[in-house]
Amino acid sequence: MSAPDRTQEFLELLTTHDRALGMYVHSLVQDVHDADDILQQTKMILWRCFDQFETGTHFLAWARKTAFHQILTYRRHKKREATPLSDDILELLHDEVARLNDDTDHRRDALRSCVAKLPAAHRQLVTLRYYEDMDIDGVAARIRSTSGAVYRALSRIRISLMICMEKELELEVTTS
């Protein structure tokens, strides 16, 4: 893959996982400013080492492990100050946060799959309400319907999405 393509790939992956990576770092570092610095340093390292990343593997896991090493380095430099957690406890927290994030990834994938299966009219309602963040009255005006009808439709759609997601996640567990 050419350099511009890799740059585009990196930016897309980082943009997709930026929020999760930020939440990960902030969950393990108490000081907000230190966490922001660690996050920035991590992103610079990810970019510098992106040629070592294998396309198609789990970018967020790779990014979290890089961040974890940056957190350990930060803690070594802060050793003079009292740190409330030992490195062993921090490692356990890393594993637990990674597991929780992986669960969230599976749920997000299941939701995407289920939304894709919705009829076009239902996908439009979901998009307007949740992706464009319109209120019920705004959605109703956009599709030329009543607020009550939109509310009832969204309620039914949420139930069908919940059932679909449960099936998707159950199927994933049985095939793993």
Tens digits of residue pLDDT in 71-128: 888 888 776 555 555 666 667 766 666 666 555 667 778 888 888 999 999 989 988 8
Residue 111: is it exposed, middle or buried by C-beta count within 10 angstroms (0-12/13-18/19+)?
A: middle
Counting every residue written for the chain, the total comes to 176
The structure tokens listed for 156 are: 């039914």
Question: What is residue 129's DSSP assignment?
Answer: I
User: Any idea of the CA torsion for 159, 161, 166, 172, to the nearest 10 degrees?
Assistant: 170
Task: Tell me which residue has tokens 């949740």.
Answer: 130
C-alpha 157/C-alpha 35 separation (Å) is: 39
* Annotation: CATH topology of 1-83: Rna Polymerase Sigma Factor; Chain: A (1.10.1740)
Question: pLDDT value at position 109?
Answer: 81
pTM of the complete model: 0.48
- Give percent of the chain with pLDDT exceeding 90: 34
Nearest to 122 by CA among 80, 89, 144, 155: 155
CA distance 49 to 84: 31
Least confident of 25-34, 105-114, 152-161: 105-114
Instruction: Quote the mean pLDDT of the chain.
Output: 83
Closest of 77, 60, 58, 76 to residue 25, by C-alpha: 60
Q: Angle at which helices 59-77 and 32-48 pack, to 10 degrees?
A: 130
Give residue 145's pLDDT.
94
Q: Which residues of 113-141 are buried (b: 16+ CB within 10 A; e: fewer)?
A: ebbeebeeebeebbebbeeeebebeebbe
Select from 66, 59, 26 the least CA-distant residue to 43: 66
CB of 169 closer than 8 Å to CB of 113: no
Domain boundaries, the chain: 1-83
